[in-house]
Structures are given as structure tokens and as C-alpha cells.
A and B are shown apart, each in its own frame.
Chain A
Amino acid sequence: MRRFAELILRYKEYATALVLIVVSLLMISGSSSSQLRSFRTISVGVLASVQSALSWLPNPYALETENHALRQLNKDLSIQLTQLRDAGLKVEKLRAMLEFKEASPMKLKAAEVIGKTTIQMRSYATLNVGEKDGVKVGMPVITERGLAGRIIGTNDGYSVVQLLLNRDTRVAARTSEGRNDGLITWDGSSSLYLRNIPSVQPQQAGDTVVTSNFSSLYPENIVIGTISEVEPEGGSLFYRIRVEPAVNFATLEEAFVVLHSPDQSRLDLERRMIDPSLGGGGTEGGQ
């Protein structure tokens, strides 16, 4: 017995290691026992208390992580807010368009603007409606605010609109209050000009300009814009009247194609009368 004790003492490191290995393995195999679990519950509780007591100590990592998470959340919420605002604006716009379509006596085809382009001072928009929707070349394009342009090309599914801000714009127009007829043109700025209004007839800013019944291409009384400035045209007997378009072309996203075709017999008659003397020139050259 004494020898055994001496042996143990001599090799106490190995003996202890052996005992501790056995103890460890027993603990590992019985780590799910209820006694160990309850002991762990207590130790975790004590540790949580200690950690709670020390929670006033700043933890740079936790702060940085929280900061990062809050920034990310802020970014996500900002994006959501922008999307919601955008959706709200779109809903308002679509509601106005729907009301306009229901109230309009004209036959309209709703369309979405899927592309806009400007080529050498000529602005165009592409719509997602085409011949299969009944759209034809020459049909006017409007929004709930007013005239946007005219269809100049179509295929089965798409059509191209020549917008009013276009050097080829020529629209027979009339002031709604003064009932003076003139011609709408564009000179390259963001405004339109109403020409051929004699300077003897009084004009005032704020008056609305609409399409005239002189036009063979557009139904009458479609709003074109509002007079913003009236000035005499130097060296002539006419005014130079600036008109702010009713349609905001920069934000044009939806439009209606007016399913209106010009009266062909009227066009033929006018052409027959004009051709021999002028060779095709007229008041509505481009539009």
C-alpha cells in the first residue's frame, strides 16, 4: 500500500492527468444530466449578473456593430420612404388620369411612356401601345393636363410620339378667353410660342391656349398651355406670345392616345384646294 502511494506520488502528474481525463470524459458523456444542467443554469445566472453589473463599461465593438446596424436600417428605411413617396405620387397621377379618362368625351387608349429621346432638337417618346391597340400615325397624345404630341410611327406593340417640344411643331391653337387663333411653335426653349396673333387684339398672361377647330389633325379644345408672357414681335403686326406647356415633359410617364383620326375627306379637299397654288404649304406643316 505504501509502495502504491509512493508510486502515485512519484507519478502524481500522470495519475492526476489520468483521473482528470476520466472525470472529463464522464462529464462529457453525462453533460445532459439534469444536475449538470441545473448547475449550468445557476452559473449562467451568476455570470449574467456579473455581466449586467459591468454593462456600464463601454464595448467599442458592440457600439460599432449597433451603429452599423442602425445606419443600415436608416438606409433601408430611407429607400422604403422614397419608394412609398414615389408610389403615392404615382397613385395620385393614375387616379387623376383615370378620372380624366372617365370624364373625357374622346375615345382614349391609356399608354405608358417606356422611353424618351431627343434627336437634334426633336423630342420623342415611345409608348407601349401600337397598331394592335388601334393606334395609328397622326393620332394625338394627351395627358390629363393637356396635349403632349402626335403619333408619328407605329408597329404592332409600340408607337413613337413626336412631343410638342419639337422643332417641327405646328399646332393650330386658340386662346380660350380672347378666342384669337394662331399657330403654336417651339423655338428650342422649354416654352412654346403662339404666333400670328395680331397685336391689335388685347392678350393677357394667364389665358389658356387650346387646340383650335381649324386644326385638321387634333380635336378642338385640348389644352396646350397657359400664356406666360405677351410681347410685340419686332417689325411685325403680331404678338410674340410665350406659352408654358400644360404637360410636364420631364416627368411624362403615362399618356393617352386619342383614338381620333383626321377627317380624310376634309384633308383631301384642303389638299386639292391648296396643292395647285402652294404646293403643300399650310398652317399645320409639322403637326
Chain B
Amino acid sequence: MIPYMNLLWYAIAGLILLLVQLNLGYIAVESVTPDLLVVLTVFVALREGQFTGLATGFLLGLFFDLISSDIIGTNALAKMLAGFVAGYFYNEQLSISESIGSFRFLGIVALAALIHNIIYYFFYVQPTDLSFTSFFLRSGIAASLYTTVVAVLVMLAAARKQRW
């Protein structure tokens, strides 16, 4: 059972990141922005397990779909599957510094972001004449890398907690 306090923190973090995610233009590189919600989804999946991870991904994605102009359901599906995949790496024996404050976390974020972007961009290019492959290779991989780079901050923060 997840502690209520944790749920509250995740909800607050989700709300803040939803707002931040919509205003990430100032760190955009060639229109590519990191996906903070994927990072949070992976974080929750690694801390609370696969079920919570996929539910978190779905809810965050759904809210993001509703407040952004995306096709409703695309972010929900993509983030849910990202959380689902990240959940496979859940290990309740690991402390936060071990599960989050290590390069393992970065690898899982990169994998989850990649899966997320495959699904997301698949639906993204549907109403257009864009080629999914070329678009994913150009933007999807870049977005995944950018998300992983941002996750370094989370990793460093968690690693610092270990020293405290």
C-alpha cells in the first residue's frame, strides 16, 4: 500500500510539472523539449511499482492531453506504457539513492522515453504527410536524449541524498 503522503507529493509534483511542461519553450532546442512527466512517471514506477507507475503515467498523460492541444489519449497511452516498462525495473529492496541516484535510473528513463516517443510520434504524424521513421529519428530520439539529460538532475539530487 502506498503511503498517503507519497501520493500527495506525487500529486503536487505532477501538478507542478504539468504546468512547467506547458511552459518549456525557453529551454527548447530546435523545438525539442524534455518530457518531465516521463521522468516523474519513471520515478514513481521505480519507487512504487509497476501498477502505480502505469496508473501515474496514464493520469499524467490524460491531464496533459486535456490541457494541451494533443489528440486526447495519445499522451495517456504513451506515458502509461512508459510507466509500465519502467515498472519492470522496480525493486522494493533498493533505497531511493540506489534506484534513482544511479546511472541505472538514467538508462531506464532513456528506455521509457524512447518507448513513449515511439508511441507518441506514431499518433502525432497520423494526420500529416510526415514519415514516422524520419520524424522519429529526427525528433523522437532527440527528445528522448533531452529527457534523459534532464533526468540527470533528478539522479544527482537523489545521489546527494545518499551522502546526507
Are A21 and B67 also in contact (CB < 8 A) when A13-B50, A36-B72, A61-B26 are? no
Q: Mark A103-144, 1 if CB is under 8 A from B, else 0.
A: 000000000000000000000000000000000000000000
Is residue B74 within 8 Å, beta carbon to beta carbon, of the partner chain?
yes
- Are B123 and A16 neighbours in the complex by a CB distance under 8 Å? no
A43 to B64, CA, bound (A): 10
Q: Mark B88-110, 1 if CB is under 8 A from A, else 0.
A: 00000000000000000000000
- The minimal Cβ–Cβ distance linking B25 to chain A, given in whole angstroms, is 6
A236 to B72, CA, bound (A): 102
Among B74-90, those with CB < 8 Å from A are: 74, 76-77, 80-81, 84, 87
Is residue B51 within 8 Å, beta carbon to beta carbon, of the partner chain?
yes
- Are A27 and B55 neighbours in the complex by a CB distance under 8 Å? no
- Are A28 and B81 neighbours in the complex by a CB distance under 8 Å? no
Are A28 and B71 also in contact (CB < 8 A) when A20-B58, A40-B66 are? yes
A20 neighbours in B (Cβ, 8 Å): 54-55, 58, 76-77, 80
Contact with A16, one of B25, B27, B54 (Cβ below 8 angstroms): B54
- Are B55 and A26 neighbours in the complex by a CB distance under 8 Å? no
Question: Residues of B with Cβ closer than 8 Å to A?
Answer: 19, 22-23, 25-27, 50-51, 54-55, 58, 62, 65-67, 71-74, 76-77, 80-81, 84, 87, 123
Is residue A17 within 8 Å, beta carbon to beta carbon, of the partner chain?
yes
Is residue A56 within 8 Å, beta carbon to beta carbon, of the partner chain?
no
Chain A CB within 10 Å, residue with most, of B50, B72, B84 = B72
A43 to B72, CA, bound (A): 12
- The minimal Cβ–Cβ distance linking B38 to chain A, given in whole angstroms, is 16
- The minimal Cβ–Cβ distance linking B28 to chain A, given in whole angstroms, is 9
Which residue of chain A has the shortest Cβ distance to B71 in the bound complex? A31
- The minimal Cβ–Cβ distance linking A154 to chain B, given in whole angstroms, is 60
B51 neighbours in A (Cβ, 8 Å): 12-13, 16
Q: How many A residues touch the partner, as a band?
A: 20 to 34
Contact with B73, one of A31, A39, A50 (Cβ below 8 angstroms): A31
Is residue A201 within 8 Å, beta carbon to beta carbon, of the partner chain?
no
- Are A40 and B72 neighbours in the complex by a CB distance under 8 Å? yes
A62 to B24, CA, bound (A): 11
B123 neighbours in A (Cβ, 8 Å): 28
Is residue A205 within 8 Å, beta carbon to beta carbon, of the partner chain?
no
- The minimal Cβ–Cβ distance linking B145 to chain A, given in whole angstroms, is 21
Which residue of chain B has the shortest Cβ distance to A40 in the bound complex? B66
- Are B84 and A24 neighbours in the complex by a CB distance under 8 Å? no
Q: List the 8 shortest-distance A-B pairs measured between CB atoms, nearest first.
A: A61-B26, A27-B73, A24-B77, A28-B73, A43-B66, A24-B73, A31-B72, A13-B50
- Are B26 and A17 neighbours in the complex by a CB distance under 8 Å? no
- The minimal Cβ–Cβ distance linking B162 to chain A, given in whole angstroms, is 29
A282 to B150, CA, bound (A): 91
29 A-B pairs with C-beta separation under 8 A: A13-B50, A13-B84, A13-B87, A16-B51, A16-B55, A20-B58, A20-B76, A20-B77, A20-B80, A21-B77, A21-B80, A23-B76, A25-B77, A27-B62, A27-B72, A27-B73, A28-B73, A28-B74, A31-B73, A36-B72, A46-B67, A47-B22, A50-B19, A51-B22, A54-B19, A61-B25, A61-B26, A62-B26, A64-B26
Are A59 and B67 also in contact (CB < 8 A) when A16-B51, A17-B84, A31-B72 are? no
Is residue A79 within 8 Å, beta carbon to beta carbon, of the partner chain?
no
- Are B23 and A24 neighbours in the complex by a CB distance under 8 Å? no
- The minimal Cβ–Cβ distance linking A17 to chain B, given in whole angstroms, is 5
Taking A12-B51, A43-B67, A51-B22 as given, write out 4 further A-B residue pairs in contact, using a Cβ cutoff of 8 Å, ordered by the A residue number.
A13-B51, A23-B76, A25-B77, A40-B66
Is residue A276 within 8 Å, beta carbon to beta carbon, of the partner chain?
no
A20 to B56, CA, bound (A): 12
A28 to B126, CA, bound (A): 11
- The minimal Cβ–Cβ distance linking B69 to chain A, given in whole angstroms, is 8
- The minimal Cβ–Cβ distance linking A18 to chain B, given in whole angstroms, is 10
